[in-house]
Structure 1
Amino acid sequence: MAIFDTQVVSEHEDGAISSAVELLRAGNLVAVPTETVYGLAADATETCAVQQIYAVKGRPSNNPLICHVSDAEMARGYVEIPPIAEKLMERFWPGPLTLVLPRLETANVAAPVSAGLSTLAVRCPARQSTRQLIRALGHPIAAPSANPSGRLSPTSAADVLAGLGGKIAMVIDGGETEEGIESTIIGVTAGKLYLLRPGTVTVDEIADAAGETVYDRDESEITAPGQLASHYAPNAPVRLNATDAADDEVLVGFGDVAGDFTLSLSGDLREAARKLFRTLRTADAAGARAIAVAPVPMSGIGIAINDRLKRAAAPRNS
């Protein structure tokens, strides 16, 4: 694996986007900011570049990637878009919603992006600089979170460097991400909607926009990113639904449960989502034997927060 002197360049710096595009066209990896978390981008049409994503992250080859597009028109060149998906694109794009749709036979996408599936996950990110990069490249970027597989997702350029510094060519620094957790993923099959990963776009919002029920997915197989049982994990083990901490634990609070650190003193779920990975990183750095996390309501965005916490607390992959 190549060793890089990883450049960190502000998204506002003149030439930052054009330099990143040149690196991508040369087959290199570039970390880019989105409104959710930082993504590890490769040219989605180049097999060798996409394979580097799996190698650099240590990502299982059966875990598909999300193709980020500049707009719905670009997506039309790669996936079938039924009317129900059109409604969701009109309502939530650009934004933190990924749609898993049938891949067109004519789609010029590297095979490893889909990990052997006949579908393709597509998203139009809200971050303007990243859409500008995709437009300049002329086709999608494949971009999972820019961190070692299974670990805490990065919400800043510093997080990316801590995990992947020296392994990638460039990080475009866009500051702290706004949403803080990964996009909601919805599968569209035979006119039905399936929740494949919860996020800050809630099931109720999706059902309302589509005028259709959203069904739970079958968890027996991986059909989209972010479905591994152990994922989003700090170094220390995580204990959930804690109202206090043992002597050798650090407590992450929420609402009325005070902690050494807190996701939200006011019990604001959107704030808690935005601060989730940052707070877990801070708690991990405290050096305690374990991280205890206060209960978070299982409603609205809380469903996505609990999904990430459940995976962070799961037995670790070897």
Structure 2
Amino acid sequence: MDTIIYQSNEVPAAAAQIRAGQLVAFPTETVYGLGADATNDRAVSHVYEAKGRPSDNPLIVHVADVETVEKFATPLSDSVKALMKHFWPGPLTIILPLKPGALSKTVTGGLTTAAFRMPDNQKTLELIRTAGVPLVGPSANTSGKPSPTLAQHVYHDLKGKIAGILDDGPTRFGVESTVIDMSVAMPTILRPGAVTVEALEAVIGPVKADHHHVSKDETPKAPGMKYKHYAPRAQVEIVDDPADFAAGVNQASAQADTVGLMATDEVLSQLSLPANVEAFSLGTDIASASHLLFAGLRHFDLESNVSLILAQGFEPRGLGAAYMNRLDKSAGGMHFNSEQ
């Protein structure tokens, strides 16, 4: 299968592929998603095949209006409507109880709930409207690999497996949406993202967080709760204290393998790097670091032959919670030991 890269003025052609039951990757403000007609069970099953994604990992349904959600979900509460009013379109995914039989179990992972989102990307909203159907949209990458923030990332992972990619340049946020479960008594954040706890509580009152790793016999209600995610080929280790990067560079200089560093400009400016250490800038702060995290992991995966990536940690507050959630999964919980 040839994978066509559609430019931003070729939305009708990409939408025609969706209507024909094909897979087309699309841009959002977070990462690129892998789109298929959410009402076409065969097309949705091809999403799992293309990604190598476990079939009990539910998919997020992307919509262009609230009315589409109301076709599938039970009547929306005032709190849900308030979230949609304040944060849609935007990086917030809302889990809702479904009307019986409203969506295929292929979409929901067999659950009686589904996750809905209205992405803040005009080309993708146009794609959904032109196709005339909601789109499932997991990250458009091989399952377990860093999420794609460029069309080229998608092409690397999925060329020959999908019909097309709608290219609208780099994504803005770089980490996936916040996921909040509104099907339970206490609204619960299952995945942190750009919409923070503080922002949510300002609209609907108290929420709690549940980022536990789902057991092998449990079906996750949101992506990223059960299976390995965001991992490049090289081992990633989190550097909790920026001052420890000097020790990391010293350890790297004593070995033959190439080591990658991911840190802010301030940290990198204080280091003298030997020939076998390659740096990737995370910019100036947590906002730029979140935007560049997956791009950095992809850089070392695709363009460098590194055996280890040392990545800067941040305080897990606000946007830092989303950044550290992804980085911890990428590292498999491994932290750099400066005393090795």
- Name the TM-score, length of structure 2 as normaliser: 0.86
Residue 194 to residue 217, structure 1, CA distance change in 2 (3 Å): farther
Partner residue in 2 for 1:272: 289
Aligned partner (choices 308, 317, 329) of residue 299 of structure 1: 317
1:230 is the counterpart of 2:248: no
Q: d(CA) in 2 for partners of 1:34 and 1:73?
A: 20
1:176 is the counterpart of 2:170: yes
TM-align CA RMSD: 1.7
Partner residue in 2 for 1:282: 299
Deviation at 1:207, TM superposition (A): 1.0
Amino acid paired to 2:28:
T
Deviation at 1:314, TM superposition (A): 1.3
Amino acid paired to 1:282:
H
Q: What is the DSSP-based 3-state SS (H/G/I as helix, E as strand, rest coil) of the residue aligned with 2:110?
A: coil
Aligned partner (choices 19, 40, 45) of residue 13 of structure 2: 19
Residue 282 to residue 190, structure 1, CA distance change in 2 (3 Å): closer
Q: d(CA) in 1 for partners of 2:191 and 2:320?
A: 13
Q: d(CA) in 2 for partners of 1:100 and 1:291?
A: 34
Kindly indicate whether the alpha-carbon contact (under 8 Å) linking 1:57 and 1:149 is maintained by their aligned counterparts in 2.
yes
Q: d(CA) in 2 for partners of 1:216 and 1:250?
A: 32
Residue 255 to residue 300, structure 1, CA distance change in 2 (3 Å): farther
Partner residue in 1 for 2:5: 8
Q: d(CA) in 2 for partners of 1:218 and 1:158?
A: 32
For residues 154-208 of structure 1, the C-alpha deviation after alignment (integer angstroms, 9 at most, x for no partner) is 1111010010011111111000001111100000134421011010111111111
Q: d(CA) in 2 for partners of 1:76 and 1:142?
A: 16
Q: d(CA) in 2 for partners of 1:202 and 1:7?
A: 36
Amino acid paired to 1:310:
D
1:10-159 matched pairs, under 5 angstroms: 10-11=7-8, 13=9, 16-80=10-74, 81-105=76-100, 107=102, 109-159=103-153
Q: Which has the larger radius of gyration?
A: 2
Kindly indicate whether the alpha-carbon contact (under 8 Å) linking 1:65 and 1:142 is maintained by their aligned counterparts in 2.
yes
Residue 142 to residue 229, structure 1, CA distance change in 2 (3 Å): closer
Q: d(CA) in 2 for partners of 1:44 and 1:298?
A: 34
Q: d(CA) in 2 for partners of 1:255 and 1:204?
A: 28
Amino acid paired to 1:278:
A
Q: What is the DSSP-based 3-state SS (H/G/I as helix, E as strand, rest coil) of the residue aligned with 1:192?
A: coil
Q: d(CA) in 2 for partners of 1:184 and 1:213?
A: 13
Partner residue in 1 for 2:276: none
Partner residue in 2 for 1:252: 262
Q: d(CA) in 2 for partners of 1:31 and 1:85?
A: 28
Deviation at 1:235, TM superposition (A): 1.2
Kindly indicate whether the alpha-carbon contact (under 8 Å) linking 1:229 and 1:311 is maintained by their aligned counterparts in 2.
no
Amino acid paired to 1:305:
Y
Q: Which runs of 5+ in 1 are unaligned?
A: none
Q: Which runs of 5+ in 2 are unaligned?
A: 272-278, 335-340
Q: d(CA) in 2 for partners of 1:57 and 1:179?
A: 22
For residues 96-125 of structure 1, the C-alpha deviation after alignment (integer angstroms, 9 at most, x for no partner) is 000011011252x33201010000100000
Q: d(CA) in 2 for partners of 1:279 and 1:315?
A: 18
Amino acid paired to 1:122:
F
Deviation at 1:43, TM superposition (A): 0.3
1:182-193 matched pairs, under 5 angstroms: 182-193=176-187
Q: d(CA) in 1 for partners of 2:286 and 2:71?
A: 36
Q: What is the DSSP-based 3-state SS (H/G/I as helix, E as strand, rest coil) of the residue aligned with 1:289?
A: strand
Q: d(CA) in 2 for partners of 1:39 and 1:159?
A: 11
